[in-house]
């Protein structure tokens, strides 16, 4: 009798563990069916000079500036100032119109306040702050910024300035030569693949193992034509952004992979361009957790299809 009860208890415990594991593993798949449709989000920006609130335009409106720079930011009060200073200085040297959209992804620090200070200084036609009430993940923040941008071209750029903004020149040149003249589609991906040998030499062995394992998973399950899918410096044409950012489902880990996977399936032109990149102190990435979650999302992306 006691043995039978123990066996039943073990079975129930194993069943509960397997059920919890399956529930956790299928989170990205389930969320893809429960995510609010991208076009239903409505946001407004504040003009710090007047206090007035104005609705953001839609990605489906006609472009009114040449370039939009989307900056996802979560608790970035310590690092975002340098990025904004460098970017604004760079844009002053250019003869095209541009805007910066800071997307505060539910920060608990002064990220929004700092963004509004810059917005007041340069004007809301040049810099706007989109503050999300709840954290959606980097993919969700980038998506919301893209959906409310005015640019003919749209750049995704990290708040830590890990990639030098002047490398945008390379992406713009590559876009001109690679975009589809009929459909207007085009993606140019900033890449750190050329730095791989040096980084492996400096990196601890287990980090290299995780990196190569992730690259193999990406190639095997999703993206064949891009070596570095994770660099946060990517340029899209407006027609391409309209397709990709209303189609994507992953809003946290591996959203970059999903975007490029969709683009490959639709045979959109993709170029990969080497950029200067450096690791900036203050990253909130926890390596083991990130590796597990990214692996899960990759498998989820593959099985959902």
Q: What confidence category does residue 3 fall into, taking pLDDT thresholds of 50, 70 and 90?
A: low
Q: What confidence category does residue 37 fall into, taking pLDDT thresholds of 50, 70 and 90?
A: low
pLDDT above 70: percentage of residues in the chain: 75
Whole-number pLDDT of residue 200: 43
Please check whether residue 273 is in contact with residue 170, taking contact to mean a CB–CB distance below 8 angstroms.
yes
pTM of the model: 0.82
pLDDT above 90: percentage of residues in the chain: 59
Q: Which tokens sit at 232?
A: 């946060």
DSSP letter at 62?
Answer: P
- Residues 263, 30: Cα–Cα separation, whole Å: 22
Q: What confidence category does residue 221 fall into, taking pLDDT thresholds of 50, 70 and 90?
A: confident
CA-based nearest residue to 112, from 133, 143, 88? 133
Which residue's entry shows tokens 């945008």? Answer: 168
Q: What confidence category does residue 202 fall into, taking pLDDT thresholds of 50, 70 and 90?
A: very low
- Residues 191, 234: Cα–Cα separation, whole Å: 9
Whole-number pLDDT of residue 192: 85
- Residues 166, 190: Cα–Cα separation, whole Å: 12
Average pLDDT over residues 65-87: 97
- Residues 229, 178: Cα–Cα separation, whole Å: 18
Which residue's entry shows tokens 């062995």? Answer: 205
């Amino acid at each position: 009798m006691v043995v039978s009860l123990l066996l039943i208890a073990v079975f129930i415990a194993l069943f509960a563990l397997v059920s919890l594991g399956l529930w956790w593993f299928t989170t990205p798949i389930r969320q893809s069916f429960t995510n609010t449709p991208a076009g239903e989000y409505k946001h407004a920006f504040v003009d710090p000079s007047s206090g007035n609130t104005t609705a953001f335009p839609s990605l489906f409106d006609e472009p009114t500036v040449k370039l939009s720079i989307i900056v996802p930011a979560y608790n970035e009060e310590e690092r975002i100032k340098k990025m904004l200073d460098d970017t604004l200085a760079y844009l002053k040297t250019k003869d095209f119109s541009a805007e910066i959209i800071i997307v505060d992804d539910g920060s608990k620090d002064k990220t929004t306040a700092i963004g509004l200070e810059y917005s007041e200084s340069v004007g809301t036609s040049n810099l706007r702050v989109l503050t999300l009430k709840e954290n959606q993940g980097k993919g969700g923040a980038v998506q919301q910024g893209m959906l409310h941008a005015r640019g003919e071209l749209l750049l995704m750029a990290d708040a830590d300035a890990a990639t030098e903004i002047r490398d945008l020149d390379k992406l713009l040149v590559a876009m001109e030569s690679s975009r589809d003249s009929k459909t207007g589609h085009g993606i140019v991906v900033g890449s750190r693949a050329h730095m791989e040998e040096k980084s492996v030499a400096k990196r601890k062995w287990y980090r290299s193992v995780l990196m190569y394992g992730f690259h193999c998973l990406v190639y095997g399950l999703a993206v064949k034509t891009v070596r570095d899918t994770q660099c946060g410096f990517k340029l899209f044409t407006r027609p391409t952004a309209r397709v990709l950012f209303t189609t994507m489902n992953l809003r946290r880990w591996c959203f970059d992979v999903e975007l490029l996977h969709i683009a490959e399936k639709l045979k959109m032109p993709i170029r990969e361009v080497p950029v200067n990149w450096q690791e900036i102190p203050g990253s909130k990435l926890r390596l083991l957790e990130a590796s597990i979650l990214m692996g899960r999302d990759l498998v989820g992306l593959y099985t959902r299809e």
